[in-house]
Every structure is written in C-alpha cells, then in structure tokens.
Amino acid sequence: MKNRIITISREFGSGGRTIGKKVAEELKIPCYDSELIGKIAKESGFNTEYIKECDEYGSGGYLSFLSNRAFGLNNEDYLWNVQCKIITEIAEKESCVIVGRCADYILRETADCLKVFIHADMAFRAARIVNVYGERAQSPEQRIKDKDKRRAAYHRFYTNMKWGRAQNYDLTLNSGTLGIDACVKIVKELY
C-alpha cells in the first residue's frame, strides 16, 4: 500500500479533530471523521444515531463482554467489523487523515501510518469545550472525564491496548502547551 495515512487519536477537548481537519486541508488530502459514521451506517444498515450511541455507550467492560457475547457476535462487534473494512478500504484507495475510530490499530499492519495522539491538561480542554462547543449542561471537567473513560474503554475492548499510552503512537502532542497551529505544523512536516 503506497498511500500515507495520518491517524489522530485524541483526548476529548484537546483539539484533535480540529488538528486533523487542518492538516488534511493544508496537505490537500481528505479527512475522515464523522464521515465514517455515515459510511458505516450505509454499509451496515444501522442508522447514524444508533452507531453514535454504540460508540458512546458500547463496550462496557468485562461483564458487558460476557453478557453481550453469550450468543455470538453482537451489534457492536458487527459495527466494529464494518468499521475495520471501511477504514482499510479508504487507506487502500487514498492518502488521508483519519480521526479516531481506532484507525491506528486497524491499519497497524497494512498501511504506512503516522500515528498521532493529541492531549492537553484539564483546564485547557475544559475551556475549549465551553468556548468551541458551547458545553454547559454539566461540569465540563466531568463531561471530559466521562468521554475519555468511554474512549479508553472502547479502545481497550477492541484493541487490547492502553489508549493514550505514548508507546502505541509515533507522536504525542500536548495541544494545550504547543497550541493547535503548532501541532498542525508538526504533523504536516512529518507527513
């Protein structure tokens, strides 16, 4: 496979999605983020809201694993398989940026990937989700902790790897210290 893929994993509120979109824009390559949900919906037959809900609340841990797998593959496993297929097909077709969805793991043996993890301290992320996303329904810090906990559980469940662990990535960047634009520049230069 000759295409170069950048995968962006990120803590909630760190700006990973923004960084991925800006990198793709500057490199003039596609960026896949929420577009993947639409592709997964089309391929699987499930509606996009259900797929988002599975991402948010699926893969709840060992007890969930036992109860959900007692009778074979469940919907979440089926969606994971569809997701793997779509991400692999995209990587075979074109160079691109893929945000989230365990793309770093899915493409680990088949693609030329730059695997990036974006993180920042709690204060930066809390301020960012209030300013950028207008989050106010609950404490931004609690929302961040909940979202990160679900991302980590999802990643661990399907990859058996610790989400955010530096050894699992080629590059980890602190967007709170470096700034969004500097992160974009670094990732772009390593492409």
Determine how many CB atoms are found less than 10 A away from the CB of residue 161.
15
Supply φ then ψ for residue 169, to 5 degrees. Answer: -130, 160
CATH of the domain at 60: 3.40.50.300
Distance between CA 121 and CA 132 in Å, rounded? 16
Q: Which of these, 126, 148, 154, lies nearest to 138 by C-alpha position? A: 126
What's the pLDDT score for residue 135?
A: 72
User: pTM score, two decimals?
Assistant: 0.88
Number of domains in the chain: 1
Query: What residue ranges of the chain have pLDDT lower than 70?
Result: 1, 55-72, 137-138
Res 34: pLDDT: 86
Tokens of 161: 């790897």
> CA–CA separation, 130 vs 33, rounded Å?
21
Q: Note the residue count of the chain.
A: 191
- Given this model, what pLDDT does residue 106 score? 96
Do the bridges between strand 96-99 and strand 171-174 make them parallel or antiparallel, or are there none, so unpaired? Answer: unpaired
Q: In this structure, are residues 176 and 125 in contact, taking their beta carbons and an 8 Å threshold?
A: yes
Q: Residue 138: exposed, middle, or buried by beta-carbon count in 10 A (0-12, 13-18, 19+)?
A: exposed
Q: Provide the residue range defining the domain that includes 79.
A: 4-190
Quote the pLDDT of residue 71: 59
Residue 18 CB contacts under 8 Å (≥ 6 apart), including other chains:
132, 180
